[in-house]
Amino acid sequence: MAAATANPAISHNSPFTPLSKSPKLPSRFTLPSSPNPQKPALRRPLQVTNVLSTPNPAINATSPPTPTASAAKTTFISRFAPDEPRKGSDVLVEALEREGVTEVFAYPGGASLEIHQALTRSAVVRNVLPRHEQGGVFAAEGYARASGRTGVCIATSGPGATNLVSGLADALLDSIPIVAITGQVPRRMIGTDAFQETPIVEVTRSITKHNYLVLDVEDIPRIVREAFFLASSGRPGPAAYTTTGGHLEQIVRLISEAKKPVLYVGGGCLNSSEELRRFVELTGIPVASTLMGLGSYPCSDELSLQMLGMHGTVYANYAVDRSDLLLAFGVRFDDRVTGKLEAFASRAKIVHIDIDSAEIGKNKQPHVSVCADVKLALQGLNEILEGKRADLKFDFSVWRGELNEQKEKYPLSFKTFGDAIPPQYAIQVLDELTNGDAIITTGVGQHQMWAAQFYKYNRPRQWCTSGGLGAMGFGLPAAIGAAVARPDAVVVDIDGDGSFMMNVQELATIRVENLPIKVLLLNNQHLGMVVQWEDRFYKANRAHTYLGNPAEETEIFPNMLKFAEACGIPAARVTTKGDLRAAIQTMLDTPGPYLLDVIVPHQEHVLPMIPSGGAFQDVITEGDGRWTY
């Protein structure tokens, strides 16, 4: 989830002046905790059934942050002598070092200049320079999504800080841990409409988990520690209490009574993939995943129903519609999953396990709810199931057979028209040539949905996309973050021409950093998803969705290869299906970055499709832009 937005560059006397001796800042100081830190606001109060916790002492909003396990085991050695004066910016950078930060995505400006100077003095923290602050925050997200660690971005005051807003909102909706640090005008000038002043704390308060306005340099170490703790400790929730296994026993009983159970798993399961797989082994329950949950259970497994929801598989949505028990783990019953709420899983008893109490009952009322880390809950459920293996004989073979019939009747498919390249086929070939092992980032639109459908994600953190916010321009900078976090992995940005152009400047960062990012650009010269809706619901009336040059409609515009050439990145264009496989193989074999411009027809539609607000019975499985509606 989005982390605190901190503004460390504010002080009556600039915090970047040298500090004299201070008992609060020795070289191995213990980070102090605020006696009464600002309490993160819950989304809304909610009475929940129960709360699971570890045996550790309870943590609530007024408890001091607990260092991570690695921090507790390792003594940090400061590069400053105990009595050595230092600037506040050096204190900030050293605080980042203490949190294990090795890379940040920072764009400098007047109010953050001292931070960048301090970064040059660090032998630990490297800055990957984005070419736009939005590129920086999306890269920090990509870093966090691919690695599971907290991403860090830094910007200056005013427009630099406001350029982070989309990324912060995106991280909040998708529960991605990032810490954003911005500069601010000098303290004496706050509220005077000074140059590049914006009230960024107020601007970001509703789209961050927590935020801070730092007014005292000596608060920096504590606030940085708190920010990282809050960013990585799950969504804001109630205090943790110990509990009996009664509710888990109840869930096991419901499973034993069910005839048609189905798992509905989301992004909350990404850190509990191993436990989820074991749970499925013990129960034999089929698994449907949300867009954010892809990879938490292997998509190529026979019990996987792949993605459910608006553009999910027919068989996944069928399973939920016909189920008598819906096990909703780490999900939030998003509208793009449920459609018409009252019709969603209307035959089923619902079990909802989620770490955020505000999500339980917010959209769909469960019959049994547990507010807990899904990993803990699954460990508890597996322990119960393993202890009762001799007595519990689950047999859902008839139900699985029914779903297999749906898989055979309604597989994910596409049509080919002459030599034109179906975009779905391009992703299918990429999946084959990478053995399903690549980390995939995307922009937002049709290409995003096809990437979710036709690439088989078999492990968590392979899939990096903007889910809740749906932010175009996400794919390319997110690929930068993923490549920095996972230099051992093949990273491919599957993008559309509309999304790609929104942050095309980040090609410069890719080239300078020599990141081996591959861009598979599905170029249809249109805003494809909006065109699809125009075709279906607006009689194909084009309302500013053509992205080419109207004066030269037969030409590809703009020439994406020129963007790549300007940044010294190898690139090629492919226009026929017969040449596609070799072109993708060349892209993968070329050392360093590469852009492949794949020209695809704009008439293609993402199918299946359940119209917004519709139910499973409204699913569309046929048609494209060549049809008349």
The helix/strand count (H/E) of the chain reads as: 22, 18
Tell me: do 263 and 196 sit in the same domain.
no
The per-residue pLDDT for 246 is: 83
CA dist., res. 29 & res. 73, Å (int): 15
User: How large is the average pLDDT for residues 521-527?
Assistant: 98
Of the residues 380, 410, 440, the one at which a domain ends: 410
Q: Is residue 462 in some structural domain?
A: yes
Residue 192 or residue 519, greater confidence: 519
Residue 69 or residue 453, greater confidence: 453
CA dist., res. 145 & res. 484, Å (int): 12
The model's pLDDT over 531-557, given as tens digits with 9 standing for 90+, comes to 999 999 999 999 999 999 999 999 999
Least trusted range by pLDDT, from 118-127, 238-247, 309-318: 238-247
| 333 pLDDT more than 60 | yes
The per-residue pLDDT for 13 is: 34
| 500 pLDDT more than 90 | yes
- CATH code where residue 561 lies: 3.40.50.970
Tell me: do 218 and 339 sit in the same domain.
no
- CATH code where residue 380 lies: 3.40.50.1220
| 259 pLDDT more than 90 | yes
Q: Is residue 78 in some structural domain?
A: no
* Structure tokens given for 202: 């107020």
Identity of the residue numbered 336 = R
Q: Is residue 40 in some structural domain?
A: no
pTM over 0.85: yes
The model's pLDDT over 396-450, given as tens digits with 9 standing for 90+, comes to 999 999 999 999 999 999 999 999 999 999 999 999 999 999 999 999 999 999 9
CA dist., res. 455 & res. 465, Å (int): 13
Of the residues 232, 257, 285, the one at which a domain ends: 232
Tell me: do 197 and 324 sit in the same domain.
no
Q: How confident is the model at residue 235 (pLDDT cuts 50, 70, 90)?
A: low
The model's pLDDT over 276-285, given as tens digits with 9 standing for 90+, comes to 999 999 999 9
The model's pLDDT over 59-110, given as tens digits with 9 standing for 90+, comes to 333 333 333 434 445 788 898 888 888 899 999 999 999 999 999 999 999 9
Q: SS3 for 189-252, per residue?
A: HCCCCCCCCCCHHHHHHHHCCCEEECCCHHHHHHHHHHHHHHHHCCCCCCCCCCCCCHHHHHHH
Tell me: do 445 and 576 sit in the same domain.
yes
Q: Is residue 427 in some structural domain?
A: yes
Tell me: do 355 and 278 sit in the same domain.
yes
The per-residue pLDDT for 502 is: 98
The percent of residues in the chain predicted with pLDDT above 90, rounded, is: 79
Q: Which helix (H) or strand (E) holds 588?
A: helix 577-589
| 288 pLDDT more than 90 | yes
Q: Is the dihedral of CA 522, 523, 528, 531 positive or negative?
A: negative
Tell me: do 432 and 569 sit in the same domain.
yes
The model's pLDDT over 189-206, given as tens digits with 9 standing for 90+, comes to 878 877 888 899 999 999
Q: DSSP 3-state assignment of 532?
A: helix
Domain count, the chain: 3
The per-residue pLDDT for 438 is: 98
Q: Is residue 41 in some structural domain?
A: no
Tell me: do 372 and 466 sit in the same domain.
no
Helix axes 446-454, 528-537, angle to 10 degrees: 100
Residue 19 or residue 288, greater confidence: 288
Q: What are phi and psi of 620, to 5 degrees?
A: -105, 130
The model's pLDDT over 354-366, given as tens digits with 9 standing for 90+, comes to 999 999 999 999 9
| 17 pLDDT more than 90 | no
User: Half-sphere exposure of residue 441, counting CA atoms within 13 Å on the CB side?
Assistant: 33
Mean per-residue pLDDT of the chain: 88
Tell me: do 222 and 274 sit in the same domain.
no
Q: Is residue 473 in some structural domain?
A: yes
CA dist., res. 197 & res. 190, Å (int): 7
DSSP letter assigned to residue 330? S
Q: What is the DSSP string of 157-195?
A: STHHHHTTHHHHHHHHHHT--EEEEE----GGGTTTT-T
Tell me: do 94 and 180 sit in the same domain.
yes
Tell me: do 453 and 356 sit in the same domain.
no
Q: Is residue 621 in some structural domain?
A: no
Tell me: do 222 and 270 sit in the same domain.
no
Q: How confident is the model at residue 24 (pLDDT cuts 50, 70, 90)?
A: very low
With beta carbons less than 8 A apart as the criterion, state whether 204 and 137 touch: no
Tell me: do 252 and 190 sit in the same domain.
no
Q: What is the CA radius of gyration of the chain?
A: 25
The model's pLDDT over 216-227, given as tens digits with 9 standing for 90+, comes to 999 999 999 999
Of the residues 362, 377, 410, the one at which a domain ends: 410
**Domain containing residue 533:** 423-606
The model's pLDDT over 151-166, given as tens digits with 9 standing for 90+, comes to 999 999 999 999 999 9
Q: Is residue 2 in some structural domain?
A: no
Least trusted range by pLDDT, from 24-28, 300-304, 472-476: 24-28
User: 571-595 in b/e burial notation, b at 16+ Cβ within 10 A?
Assistant: bbbbbebeebbebbeebbebeebbb
Among residues 283, 251, 481, the alpha carbon closest in space to that of 353 is found at: 251
